[in-house]
A and B are shown apart, each in its own frame.
Chain A
Amino acid sequence: MNESASVIRQAAAVAEKPQQNSMLRHARYVVSENPVTGFAFALFTLIALCALIGPYIVPHDPLASDTAATLRPPSFAHWFGTDALGRDIFSRVVVATRLDFLIALTSVVLVFAMGGLAGIAAGYFGGWTDRIVSRVADTIMAFPLFVLAMGIVAALGNTVTNIVIATAIINFPLYARVARAEANVRREAGFVLAARLSGNTEFRILLLHILPNIMPIMMVQISLTMGYAILNAAGLSFIGLGVRPPTPEWGIMVAEGAGNIISGEWWIALFPGAALMLAVFCFNLLGDGLRDLVDPQRRT
């Protein structure tokens, strides 16, 4: 038993090596074939940097107002201009990256834990588990998603945590459905049968055998929904939910600049809006690139 296991492991290691190589080659091929993915990756690095060290490198305090310099257009001293309270917009846009990024990331991790696990359990066990998970997903899908998020935040209370929860809930069906379909295909796969035969419990099979196998596809899903999560959170704070002024956050900054658009002060809303757009754009492109890498057949 022990011997055969080690033989199998060796064989697996041998089989894995060229595959890993080809995976790398495939990755290089995808990036060189589609320079856009490389661009998206560079953009992602920039966003991550802003989120990590942004607050330490900005030229001005994002909360400090300067009544002598209100509503200044972009200049050398204030790259993105100043808002109605004289706060430096460049600093605020950079500092806001962390909050927006964190809201999106936590909500995506949360929905991955809830939706992903519920989905693979539904796909693997079938029966009642499947029926309950699918029914919950269908009920959530019966709402226009942004409207449901508004209702959830209104009911749970107007805080950032609840924006994260609402964003996670409205993404639940997407994750549950993908995970369910992928787990369902694999429930009778050879490696699952082998794992069951060697005495693994069902729960262990689910977590240690099925989950790692559907991870690549779930990663694509995560990247694709990150953009949507950012948009959703910014939309909620645009209508005045969750983040409170004077906290710098892209959605609320666009809302603050909205009134000034009519009188021609475009820079207050433009720069945070453009940052928001770039972030979403970046995650969408990254998701498409990842999908090409993981699942070339779904390329459109």
Chain B
Amino acid sequence: MLGLVLKRMLLVIPNLIGVVIITFLLTRALPGDPAAYFAGPAATKEAIEQVRAKLGLDKPLIVQFGQYVSDLGHLNLGNSLTTGQPVLTELKNRLPASAELTLFGLILSMAIAVPLGILAAVRQGSWIDHTCRIVATSGVSLPVFFTGLLLVYAFYFLLGWAPAPLGRLDVFFSPPPQITGFYLIDSLLNRDLATFRASLSQLLLPGFTLCIFSLAPIARMTRASMLAVLASDFVRTARASGLKNRTVIITYAFRNAMLPVVTTLGMVFSFLLGANVLVEKVFAWPGIGSYAVEALIASDFAPVQGFVLTMAIMYVALNLAIDMLYGIIDPRVRLEG
């Protein structure tokens, strides 16, 4: 198992190198002269040259790349122009908000999509199957920011069940002392049920928005792989041996059907991390996505670059984790590895 883990980690390295090269190229592709841009609009010619020397932009590209990599090695992502803060600190402060939202959305969506997919496969052609297909097709067609706004209109304006879409916590509450950075977990650890309820009510709408968005691929994949497994020989054997229907479906079919579903999670994460940016904008969620959007509007490039890099590294790490999970669920992968 350890060998397998090491092997998978080695496979990640070329991906990481590619990510670093692309983020580097993205800075150098800045329109116009980056030195003039960083020096500001009122800078004189000498000031621009000074900035150019300071940023190392007068050196050959390969030296600049070396500088960039060594900065990354020292965890230096540069400073934001608008706030003056180091990008890394801001990303670190805001990451838990994004992570809590994304994971909550994913868990919600798994909890709905997997049973839906299983039922659709077991009762193929029934109304549940049709519901599954409709949900899957409309889920991928709905722009995620539009779903979010519809939910806000229905549950905040019309029904008044949800709080105003303004961040992680109502202004009357103070955030729980930071342990994990996830408000739900921290408030529980602190035995503060009122804060827990308040942060949950803020989290529900954006969470459901992400859930609706990621429902489709998971439900579709669960249904397809359940159908394939239900038609296989071992399920027939299990049925012929007189096992109860429930045992056949849950113990035999479901376990085997989960493997391809876990593989699609990689793709689902790619969509979720992107959709997260839009959802954060709709719900004024103080995560790294809205940080990047604010910086983008202000043409403040360092935070955007740090954000793209952080997201890519997280995504590579998530894919690695999914690969490992696959090895744990399916012993055959371990044998081959």
Q: Is A210 an interface residue (CB 8 A)?
A: no
Q: Kindly state the separation between the CA atoms of A72 and B232 in the bound complex, as whole angstroms.
A: 60
- Name B's interface SS: helix
**Binary flags per residue of B26-46, CB closer than 8 Å to A gives 1, else 0:** 110111000000000000000
Residues of B within 8 A of A151 (CB): 23, 26, 304-305, 307-308
A290 vs chain B, min Cβ distance (A): 15
CA distance A262 to B273 in the complex (A): 25
- Is the CB–CB distance between B18 and A139 below 8 Å? yes
Contacts of A145 in B (CB 8 A): 270-271, 274
The answer to the question of B135 belonging to the interface, with a C-beta cut-off of 8 Å to chain A, is no
Cβ–Cβ < 8 Å partners of A238 in chain B = 143, 145, 278, 281
Structural contact, B140 and A144, CB atoms closer than 8 A? no
Q: How far is the CA of A273 from the CA of B149 in the complex (A)?
A: 10
B312 engages A281 (CB within 8 Å): no
B34 → A minimal CB distance (Å): 10
Are B152 and A239 in contact, with the CB atoms below 8 A?
A: no
Q: Given the complex, which residues of A lie within 8 Å of B275, measured CB to CB?
A: 146
Given contacts A147-B308, A157-B31, A239-B293, contact A258 B149 (CB under 8 A): yes
Interface residues of B, count at CB 8 A: 57
Q: Give the nearest-CB partner of A151 in chain B.
A: B308
A223 to B49: give the CA distance in the assembly, Å.
Answer: 50
A273 interface neighbour in B146, B272, B316, Cβ under 8 Å: B146
B149 contact from A150, A235, A261, Cβ within 8 A:
A261
CA of A147 to CA of B305, assembled, Å: 10
Whole-angstrom CA separation of A147 from B313 in the bound complex: 12
**Are B308 and A276 touching (Cβ within 8 A)?**
no
Q: Mark B290-311, 1 if CB is under 8 A from A, else 0.
A: 0011001101010011011001
Measured between C-beta atoms, what is the minimum distance from A118 to chain B in Å? Answer: 16
The digit string for A85-112, where 1 denotes a CB below 8 A from any CB of B, is 0000000000000000000000000000
Q: A256-275 interface mask toward B, CB cutoff 8 Å, 1 = contact, 0 = none?
A: 01100111101001100100
Contact of B146 among A144, A154, A227, A254 (CB under 8 A): A254
Contact yes or no, B277 A150, CB < 8 A: yes
Question: What's the minimum C-beta distance from B216 to chain A, rounded to whole angstroms?
Answer: 10
The answer to whether B149 and A254 have CB atoms under 8 Å apart is: yes
Complex Cα distance, B319 from A144, in Å, reads 11
Residue in contact with B137 in the complex, picked from A235, A239, A285, CB distance below 8 Å: A285
The interface bits of chain A over 144-162 (1 if a CB of B lies within 8 angstroms of the residue's CB, else 0) are 1111101110111110000
Binding site for B on A (CB under 8 A): 135, 138-148, 150-152, 154-158, 227, 231, 234-235, 238-241, 251, 254-255, 257-258, 261-264, 266, 269-270, 273, 276-277, 280-281, 284-285, 300
Additional A-B contact list (8), CB under 8 Å, known A235-B278, A280-B141 = A141-B270, A142-B312, A144-B270, A154-B301, A235-B143, A235-B274, A251-B145, A281-B137
